[in-house]
Amino acid sequence: MKKNIILALIFGASLSSCGEYNKLLKSTDYDYKYEAAKNYYAKGQYGRSATLLNELITIMKGTDKAEESLYMLGMSYYNQQDYSTAAQTFITYCNTYPRGMYTELASFHAGKALFEDSPEPRLDQTGTYAAIQQLQRFMEYHPRSTKTKESQDMIFELQDKLVKKDFYSAKLYYDLGNYLGNNYESCVITAQNALKDYPYTHLREDLSILILRAKYEMAVNSVETRKMERFRDTVDEYYAFKNEFPDSKFIKEATKIFEASNKVIKE
């Protein structure tokens, strides 16, 4: 019996809360709505705060409350993990209030929201480039910010995604081999460009062995007029790989490629 009474009280309070919120939505007392939106935001009820703030940012445009409303709206979206809308809202804030009270935080959270919304490496990376650009813009305009280290770390992580994207592309070219063309050459070009663009990547060793493998396959499958040239290029690639990664986990494989290539050259 007591349990039922407690449940009834909780349910009644919930209905009262919902009823109060519905009345609030219909209200034309915008100062009251503004204070309610701040209260919902403080309590972590971001869906309700976003609904109210969406209405208020237009009505309060030109007032001292408009700036804070727009920033809180961005944070409400961010805390609901609606990162795309959050980023757009923060960027709008920065464009509207370039010297505003929350400009530094809005610029940072725009980049962080785009970072959170960045796709996994196998997908199109347009969003990743946008996140890097926004974070770099933040660091350029706020070089002394306490958020600089976190922003730099996010950029490194985003760049890792781009390297992985290139690595997966290069690996796919390698796996395709001579199917509908010389995909080994495309593998080499893609991997080399990745190493050029991101020289300090943790995938450097994996990209380098992929280049060596692809060059060897190009030599094996080459026309006679270019075979020797390509085997010599493979040997040169082996020495470059061995010098950079003398203790590589791929060193046995690399040595076999070298020995096979060198044998052809000496015949």
In this prediction, the residues of the chain whose per-residue pLDDT falls under 50 are: 1-16
Cβ pair 232, 239 in contact under 8 A: no
Closest C-alpha to 264, from 227, 239, 236: 227
Cβ pair 187, 174 in contact under 8 A: yes
CB atoms under 10 Å from CB of 18, counted, come to 10
In the block, residue with structure tokens 């290029």: 233
Closest C-alpha to 68, from 42, 32, 100, 29: 100
The pLDDT value given to residue 64? 82
Cβ pair 211, 237 in contact under 8 A: yes
Count of residues making up the chain: 267
Give dist(CA 255, CA 244) in Å, integer.
14
* 131-177 confidence digits (pLDDT tens): 999 999 999 999 999 999 999 999 999 999 999 999 999 999 999 99
- 114: three-class secondary structure by DSSP: helix
Closest C-alpha to 90, from 63, 117, 123: 117
The pLDDT value given to residue 2? 41
Give dist(CA 109, CA 115) in Å, integer.
9
